[in-house]
Amino acid sequence: MERTLLQILDKLEKMETNMVTKQELSEIKAELEKVKDNMATKQELQEVKDHMATKPDFMLIQQAVLETNEIVKKLESKIDTHEQLLTLLSHRSLEHEAAISSIRFIPPSLRLQKI
């Protein structure tokens, strides 16, 4: 009988060391409330699910992005070509302006006479 009482006491001591104090329990409850406050409700999860893009939607978006990227590359190429052309035309315009300016300074006696 004494042995049984010692076993019971030993088990009670083990239980006591593993028990939670009121302080610890209130801390756990407070932490649980924080978790609850940050959790999404079923309705919120459903709303997110309803607004998510489906795989076909994603594939269409991906295709549109690829097409847009291709168009942008073509436009960049055309812009480069146009910039080169504008530079060439600008140089020609300056040459013509210089030629016209030099013609203005030719004395009237050296200019071609109208027939």
**pLDDT at position 101:** 82
79-107: b or e for each residue (b if 16 or more CB lie within 10 Å)?
Answer: eeeeeeeeeeeeeeeeeeeeeeeeeeeee
pLDDT tens digits in sequence order for the chain, 115 residues long: 888 988 998 888 888 887 888 888 889 999 999 988 888 888 888 888 888 888 888 999 999 999 999 999 999 999 999 999 999 999 999 999 988 887 777 776 666 665 5
**pLDDT at position 79:** 95
**pLDDT at position 70:** 96
11/18 Cα distance (integer angstroms): 11
**pLDDT at position 115:** 53
7/13 Cα distance (integer angstroms): 10
In this prediction the pTM is: 0.39
**pLDDT at position 77:** 93
CA 105 to chain centre: 62
